[in-house]
Amino acid sequence: MGEAQKGLLSVVEKLKGTTEQEVRIVLLGLDNAGKTTLLKSLASEDVNTITPTQGFNIKSVASHGMKLNVWDIGGQRKIRAFWKKYLENTDLLIYVIDSADKKRFEETGLELSELIDEENLKGVPVLIFANKQDLATASPASEIAEGLNLHTYRDREWQIQACSAVSGEGVQDGMNWICNNIANRKKK
Amino acid sequence: MAEDDSEWVLESIVGFLGSPEWVIPVTDFMENKCTVFDDEEENKLSYTEIHQQYKNLVEKLLENYMQEVGINEQQFLYACTSPFAKSKTLQIVFQPVLATDDFQMFRSLMVQKNMELQLQALRVMKERNGELPECLTHGADVMTELQQQEMKILHQVLQKSKEEYEEEMSFRMLLDEENGSTSSSSSDKPFREKQASTSSQQDSTAKELPESEQDQLQQRATYLRQQRDRLHALKKEQQKSSYNSPPEEAPSSPTEISAEEKKRLQKRKHLAEKLKEEVIKK
């Protein structure tokens, strides 16, 4: 972590007295994909009063002896230009897709591939949440994976996880993958 | 070698963090930029920009100092991770430095600074005016107070017109009684003549009364207007002191700004209350 940061501030980073391992996770995806709902679901908070995010939300979740700092940044088109500013020192990317919004599969695929090409996300593992599986019209995760050409990703670990942020189903499975993945990386 | 130095290095850095060369620019920065930081759960995109500026500032200040005194990064790190540096008092001193790497910490420092400034503004207002305007103490805010004042004026005007109307009606009835015997279809002309001739004395007093009332009303209206202007000026001043760079300028319409103002005032009040609570608790 933090190797990318140079100079004095990288020294400051080492000053933090925490023994706990901190992990920076960025949560992205189109508007209305369910990023904030997922974030709140991760933090075991109420998911019924969520409005479209105009800025960003941060939650710290303790899991597997690690402190996961999850940054959820608004997905509206005009905010997407700001995503880049949040990618530095990221340990893991979570990308959320509305599995029932077939009309925007192409758009979400484009945004994802742009992120994958970002220098700051080079080699950063990506977890894709195929969200809203509670809806009858949701596409299965396997279909979405195919549409996104995930199998062509050779430079990083990736995983697609079907979930419903509203019911919480599948969310923990995704988190387990994240923790295992990061624990493995740190060992190496 | 570095470890031997750690004590004086740490001392020197702590000294610097208490010196005007550090405190003034950092405090200036915080006071200038804290106004957009509220205690809403969601962060604004602008926070990130400000955090970046803060990082640049701190880095520049520390680097300059270290260069000046001749401390390298390795020594800095050793010194700041030594057991001495882990004491509670020093951790507080280091907070503004650590905030460069910790957005959440930075944000809470900024929110706190914003609250402090708001409380300060409240205190200044209280000192200047003896008491806080209604809007900052009880539930009502400036706009409703103004509306109340306007309603008062309206009531007075209505009452006055009602009085005049009743006066005239009673006068007519009087006339009708007098004229009742002559003819039921008395035209306007004789009526007017009668009015002028029979009650010249009464008429003069009737005219004078509304006039004096009108005078009073006018005085009242100007007084109220002055009051309102003062309130506006106060509000502006308060805005200036706590909102150095107001995000929205030049109101597009008066109704819009009033709603916004209301919201802001309410928020401010809420913040102040919260802070007070916290302070008292402590």
Measure in Å the smallest separation between the Cα of A71 and chain B Cα atoms. Answer: 10
Interface contact flag, B73 A55, Cβ < 8 Å? no
* pLDDT value for A19: 59
Long-range contacts: B245-251, Cβ < 8 Å, 24+?
B245/B32, B245/B35, B246/B35, B247/B36
How far away is chain B from the Cα of A8, in angstroms, using its nearest Cα? 6
Q: Which residues constitute the domain of residue B45?
A: 2-131
List the single best residue of B9, B17, B43 to mutate versus A (max A Cβ within 10 A): B43
Q: pLDDT band at residue A174, thresholds of 50, 70 and 90?
A: very high
Which pLDDT value is given to residue B151?
80
Contact A97, A33 (CB under 8 A): yes
8-state DSSP, A93: E
Say if residue B45's pLDDT is above 80: yes
Give catalytic residues of A, as residue numbers: 76
Domain end marker among B103, B131, B159: B131
Find out whether B95 and B22 touch, Cβ atoms under 8 Å: no
pLDDT tier for residue A132 given thresholds of 50, 70 and 90: very high
Structure confidence at residue A37 as a pLDDT band (50, 70, 90): very high
In this structure, is residue A91 part of a structural domain?
yes
Answer yes or no: do A85 and B48 touch at CB < 8 A.
yes
Q: How many Å apart are CA B235 and CA B207, to the nearest integer?
A: 42
Taking the C-alpha atoms of residue A102 and residue A177, their distance in angstroms, rounded to an integer, is 26
Number of domains in chain B: 2
Of A8, A74, A82, the CB nearest to B62: A8
- Which among A4, A38, A15 has a CA at the least distance from the CA of A166? A38
Is A100 one of the annotated binding-site residues? no
Q: pLDDT tens, B54-74? A: 999 999 999 999 999 888 888
At which residue do the structure tokens 């509305």 appear? A98
SS3 A160: strand
Dihedral sign (CA B2, B3, B8, B10): positive
Distance, CA of A34 to CA of A41 (rounded, Å): 10
CB of A15 less than 8 A from some CB of B: yes
- Among candidate residues B70, B99, B131, the one where a domain is terminated: B131
- Chain B residue numbers touching A14 (CB-CB < 8 A): 77, 81
In a domain, A94, yes or no: yes
If one compares A7 and A28, the residue with the highest pLDDT of the two is A28
CA-based nearest residue in chain B for residue A60:
B104
User: Which residue in the block uniquely carries the two structure tokens 């001739």?
Assistant: B197
Burial (CB < 10 A; 0-12, 13-18, 19+), residue B242, is: buried
Q: Is residue A4 part of a domain?
A: no
Quote the pLDDT of residue A185. Answer: 74
- What secondary structure letter does DSSP report for B43? B
ipTM (interface pTM): 0.86
- Answer whether B63 sits within 8 Å of A15, measured CB to CB: no
Q: What confidence category does residue B246 fall into, taking pLDDT thresholds of 50, 70 and 90?
A: very low
pLDDT at B148 over 80: no
Assigned domain for A179 exists: yes
**What is the C-alpha to C-alpha distance for residues B122 and B73, in angstroms, rounded to an integer?**
43
Is A184 annotated to bind ligand? no
C-alpha atoms less than 13 angstroms from C-alpha of A167 in its C-beta half-sphere: 10
Q: What is the CATH number of the domain that holds A30?
A: 3.40.50.300
* Single-letter residue type at B118: Q
Chain B residue with CA closest to A13: the answer is B101
* Pairing outcome for strands A158-162 and A126-131: parallel
Give the one of A16, A55, A58 whose C-beta lies nearest to B44's C-beta.
A55
pLDDT of A91 strictly over 80 = yes
**What mean pLDDT is predicted for residues B93-106?**
91
Shortest distance between the Cα of A96 and any Cα of chain B, in A, equals 19
What pLDDT is recorded for position A183? 81
CA distances from A49 to A37, B38, B191 (A): 9, 20, 72
Q: Do B48 and A11 touch (CB under 8 A)?
A: no
B139 with B127, same domain? Answer: no
**pLDDT over 80 (residue A103):** yes
Helix (H) or strand (E) holding B261: helix B254-281
Is A89 domain-assigned? Answer: yes
Same-domain check for residues B161 and B240: yes
B221/A84: higher pLDDT: A84
Chain A residue with CA closest to B56: the answer is A9
Q: Look at chain A and report how many structural domains it folds into.
A: 1
Give the residue among B70, B214, B232 at the shortest CA–CA distance from B146: B232
Q: For residues B202 and B43, which has the higher predicted lDDT (pLDDT)?
A: B43
Can you tell me the distance from the alpha carbon of B219 to that of B271, in angstroms, rounded to the nearest whole number? 38
Alpha helix segments (H runs only) across chain A: 8-15, 35-42, 77-80, 105-116, 141-147, 171-187
- Is residue A30 a contact partner of residue A24, using CB atoms and an 8 Å limit? no
Q: Count of residues for chain A?
A: 188
What pLDDT is recorded for position B20? 94
Residue B214 and residue B202: Cα distance in Å, rounded? 19
pLDDT of residue B4: 64
End-of-domain residue from the set B114, B131, B148: B131
Average pLDDT for A19-30: 89
Q: Rounded to whole angstroms, what are the CA distances from B179 to B140, B194, B198? A: 55, 10, 12
Q: Are B84 and A22 in contact (CB under 8 A)?
A: no
Q: Which residue of B has its CA nearest to A16?
A: B98
For chain B, how many residues are written?
A: 282
Tell me if chain B has a CB within 8 Å of the CB of A54.
Answer: yes
Whether the pLDDT of residue A26 is over 80: the answer is yes
Q: What is the pLDDT of residue B143?
A: 59
Shared domain for B271 and B152, answered yes or no, is yes
Interchain CB distance below 8 Å, A12 and B104: no
Say if residue B142 is in the same domain as residue B121.
no
Evaluate if residue B150 carries a pLDDT over 70: yes
Same domain membership, residue B276 and residue B139: yes
In this model, does residue B142 exceed pLDDT 90?
no
For residues B145 and B202, state if they share a domain.
yes
- Of A138, A94, A99, A100, the residue nearest A112 (C-alpha): A94
Q: Which domain holds residue A172?
A: 26-187
pLDDT at B251: 44
Is residue A137 situated within a structural domain? Answer: yes
What rounded mean pLDDT belongs to chain B?
76
Residue B40 burial (C-beta neighbours within 10 Å; 0-12, 13-18, 19+): exposed
Give contacts of A39 with chain B, Cβ < 8 Å.
Answer: none
Specify whether B165 is located in the same domain as B41: no
pLDDT at B107 over 80: yes
Tell me if chain A has a CB within 8 Å of the CB of B86: yes
Q: Which residues pair with B268 in a beta bridge?
A: none
